Structure 1
Amino acid sequence: MAGSGRGQPVGFVLLALGPILAAAYAAVNHVAIRTAVQAQIAGPEWEGGRVDADGMTAVGVDTWRLVWWTALFVGVVAVAFVLIGVLLRRRGRGRTLLLVFSGVLIVPYAVGFLVALINPVKGLGGLYDVPDFVDGVPPWQPGTAFILLAAGLAQAVGLTMAAGAGRRQAAAGQEGTRSTPSGSGRP
Structure 2
Amino acid sequence: MAGSGRPAGLVLLALGPVLAAAYAGAGHLAVRAAVRAQTTGPEWEGGRIDGSGLTSLGVDTWRLTWWTAMVVGLAAVAYLVFGVLLLRERRGRALILVVSGVLIVPYALGFAVALFNPVRGLAGLYDSPDFLAGLPWWQPYTAWLLLAGGLAQAVGMVMAAAHGRRAAPQPPPEAAEVNGQG
TM interval, short-chain normalised: over 0.9
Correspondence for 1:88: 86
CA distance in 2, matches of 1:48, 1:82: 46
Correspondence for 1:110: 108
What is the TM-score of this pair, normalised by structure 1?
A: 0.90
Ranges in structure 2 where 5+ consecutive residues have no aligned partner: 176-182
CA distance in 2, matches of 1:90, 1:112: 29
Task: Name the aligned partner's letter for residue 16 of structure 2.
Answer: G
RMSD: 1.3
CA distance in 2, matches of 1:150, 1:63: 22
Q: Could you list the per-position Cα deviations for residues 86-110 of structure 1 after superposition, in whole angstroms to 9, with x for gaps in the alignment?
A: 1111112111111111111111100
Task: Name the aligned partner's letter for residue 15 of structure 1.
Answer: L
CA distance in 2, matches of 1:29, 1:124: 14
* Matched residues, number: 175
What is the TM-score of this pair, normalised by structure 2?
A: 0.93
Ranges in structure 1 where 5+ consecutive residues have no aligned partner: 181-187
CA distance in 1, matches of 2:81, 2:103: 12
Choose 1 or 2 for highest CA Rg.
1
Percent of aligned pairs with the same amino acid? 65
CA distance in 1, matches of 2:39, 2:91: 59
Residue 178 of structure 1 and its aligned partner are, at CA, apart by 3.4
Residue 138 of structure 1 and its aligned partner are, at CA, apart by 0.8
Correspondence for 1:58: 56
Q: 1:178 aligns with which of 173, 176, 182?
A: 173
